[in-house]
Chains A and B, each alone.
Chain A
Amino acid sequence: MRHIISILMENEPGALSRVVGLFSQRNFNIETLNVAATEDPSLSRLTVTTVGDDRVIEQITKHLNKLIDVIKLVDLTEGNHIERELMLVKVKALGAARDEVKRTVDIFRAQIVDVTPSLYTVQITGDATKLDAFLQAMGPVGILEVARTGVSGIARGDKVLSL
């Protein structure tokens, strides 16, 4: 099963490589990964999506917690949560397809953020399935380039991941 694990860790050089290294060292999966400093510049928040059965996920969270740089983590998929990913896509937009692309962009509540005579650059946010669906819809038109951020997430309600 797919899990989204959010980690609060020291914003130190080498901290990210320890997390990434752990996954390859222990034969765990990384589907997506993103990381940035938080409002407190001494802290980074890293979100990783991974796939595994309960035993594997338990091992992943235990090993992550063992890393000295890791302060706290939460498996967002254990509870209600909001999950978002941002994607930038360059698609062909020629002739009749130009309107078709525009319509699809509207349906998905995406935005066209750059235009040339032959292509549109589309920005779209949502959960991973929505982004996948958009790519599928654009497939016949011609996708030229895709840049996805990977999943970021936060728990719903009063739960807060902080120090």
Chain B
Amino acid sequence: MELLSGADMIARFLQDEGVEYIYGYPGGAALHIYDALFRQDKVKHILVRHEQAATHAADGYARASGKPGVVLVTSGPGATNAVTGIATAYMDSIPMVVLCGQVMSHLIGDDAFQETDIVGVTRPIVKHSFSIRHPSEIPDVLKKAFYLAATGRPGPVVVDIPKDMTAPTERYEYIYPKKVKMRSYNPVTRGHTGQIKKAVDMMLKAKRPVFYTGGGVVLGKACEGLTDLVQRLDYPITTTLMGIGAYPQSDRQCLGWLGMHGSYESNMAMHHADLVIAIGARFDDRVTNNTSKFCPTAKIIHVDIDPSSISKTIRADVPIVGPAASVINEMISLVQGQDIANPDALAQWWQQIDGWRAERVGKLYEPSDGGVLKSQEVVEALCRVTHGEAFVTTDVGQHQMFAAQYYKFDKPNRLITSGGLGTMGFGFPAAMGIKQSYPDDHVVCVTGEGSFQMMMQELSTCKQYAIGVKIVNLNNASLGMVRQWQDLNYKSRHAHSYMESLPDFHKLIEAYGFTAITVNTLDELEPALERAFADKHELVFLDVKVDPHEHVYPMQVPLGSMRDMLLSKTERT
């Protein structure tokens, strides 16, 4: 029998669970745990410079690797600083375990130094949370936390650990729990066969079908199956922002992504479809636009692992609760050897879609033509230089939309972005986390000077651990998306969307000992990118001066249907 202190149990459990990296920041209530981590070398702790970055880095790691990200913070401000990152993970269903130090049990509720009710604070943004009440619970609680985070619809789990639970003097038996049993939690393992049959029946009879798939396909590791199914049927597919890369974007059947800034052909196809096959997508407001005008002629098949996502905003005609992978596989076996009922209608449908596509060729944006660089050009060049194979993280705003629109992703988990919460400051620390699970790949954070300044302290972390990510700063000296809305809705009154007193990014980056390149013209762009990506292990920062007047288009018209879009500053549908 092995006796360990609570702190040593945590360190040992993380080893036994196969955790490679833990992102964190020490403080009083977490010190016993830090001491235990210090006395082992299997789990590597990455010291960030702000707890929000710890959660984003763990999140990036989780998205890229498919394993839960792990965070360790202290009580009070340490824990509250982590809140934005927990909410980010929650909105995008990312598996994450956040270990929070807490003041000693007997002080809880007394407003002790650095005390926060973090379980209460995070209650609406976690899948579940635990408070440790006795050190002997630690192995079981941690096992449950990892199990809950990673299974079913994944999400963040917070574990609150009062300092006395980790005291080095109190030792208890440690056994790594191999199994978890929770009578109140049984995630579905397959969909209802009758419903799947019904769905496939509708799919085979459809005249204007479209697949609409989301992050659930990526999280559910169902991308190969999806590609197989979509190609067997020869139906068009559009994905959500979170679902980008689940189906290769360079394939003819892929219409790009849909929604507020989605492609013209995606939104048009959705609006005119007679059958929408939604898998692992949740019909959120950035996709549907006005729900009462959404897909007026379509029947809806909705596959989701979370029943509460079904018929939440849009009523499903055929709801299927189940994991994407198993439902898709069942669909494939039912489709196998079957012919679609209306091949002529499908041919016509494709003709219509190709017509929409042709309408926008060459009209997506106006090139800089010797003037100030356009963000779109920068992303296109980035895609060329990295052969479309880099991990691309983003922050939030215009640059995020441009990165998603103009980088072509053929693999899932390559665009890593805060889709649900829209968290500025996400991209850079997320890139750090990804770089650690994929050290030999290019990892680039496409950001803007606004977002980057929210988490730029992490340059120091990159220096400490030699994390060689690339940063492409699309610098328009503006909060571009805010500015765009102000142009459209507030007669160009740019209330606080102009960034005065920007730092000299060149000097700033050099102060950390990294390479910075400033890009002003199109001629300078590709050589600078080539230089930046020459060495996979070197952090390089590109400060690219881009046009502040540029808008992201298409843009859905508020309260309209999916097809109601602004296509440029002067055109609308």
A residues whose Cβ falls under 8 Å from a Cβ of B: 9-10, 13-14, 17-18, 21, 25, 55, 58-59, 62-63, 65-66, 68-71, 163
Contact = CB atoms under 8 A, between A and B. Distances in A.
A50 to B, nearest CB: 16
29 contacts: A9-B184, A10-B184, A14-B119, A14-B123, A14-B129, A14-B131, A17-B120, A17-B123, A18-B123, A21-B123, A55-B315, A59-B308, A59-B312, A62-B307, A62-B308, A62-B310, A63-B308, A65-B307, A65-B308, A66-B306, A66-B307, A66-B308, A68-B127, A68-B128, A68-B182, A68-B185, A69-B184, A70-B184, A71-B184
A25 B124 contact: yes
A158 to B, nearest CB: 23
A106 to B, nearest CB: 46
A58 B319 CA distance: 13
Nearest to A13: B131
Contacts of B310: 62
Given A14-B131, A63-B308, A65-B307, A71 B183 contact: yes
Nearest to B315: A55
A13 B108 CA distance: 14
A160 B120 CA distance: 33
A9 B308 CA distance: 19
Contacts of B53: none
A68 B308 contact: no
B148 interface: yes
Interface in B305-319: 306-308, 310-312, 315
A17 B184 CA distance: 17
B129 A55 contact: no
Contacts of A163: 183
A68 B311 contact: no
A58 B313 CA distance: 12
Contacts of B148: 68
Given A25-B124, A66-B307, A68-B148, 10 more contacts: A9-B184, A17-B123, A21-B124, A59-B308, A62-B308, A63-B308, A65-B307, A68-B127, A68-B185, A71-B183
A70 B148 CA distance: 14
Given A14-B129, A17-B120, A21-B123, A58 B311 contact: yes
Contacts of A58: 311
A66 B309 CA distance: 11
A57 to B, nearest CB: 12
Contacts of A69: 184
Contacts of A59: 308, 312
A13 B133 CA distance: 10
A70 B119 CA distance: 18
Contacts of A65: 307-308
A129 B282 CA distance: 40
B186 to A, nearest CB: 10
Contacts of B183: 71, 163
Contacts of A62: 307-308, 310
Nearest to A62: B308
Contacts of B185: 68
A65 B188 CA distance: 13
A127 B483 CA distance: 57
Nearest to B321: A62
Nearest to A65: B307
Contacts of A14: 119, 123, 129, 131
A9 B184 CA distance: 8
B187 to A, nearest CB: 10
A65 B321 CA distance: 14
Looking at A62, A68, A70, which has the most chain B CB atoms within 10 Å of its CB?
A68
A130 to B, nearest CB: 35
B491 to A, nearest CB: 33
Interface string B291-315: 0000000000000001110111001
Contacts of A71: 183-184
Contact of B311 (A18, A55, A70): A55
Contacts of B315: 55
B302 to A, nearest CB: 13
A13 B306 CA distance: 25
Interface in B159-188: 182-185
Contacts of A13: 131
B131 A68 contact: no
A74 to B, nearest CB: 15
Nearest to A42: B183
Nearest to A58: B311
Interface string B139-152: 00000000010000
Contacts of A18: 123
Nearest to A21: B123
A68 B184 contact: yes
A9 B124 CA distance: 18
A59 B282 CA distance: 14
Interface string B172-208: 0000000000111100000000000000000000000
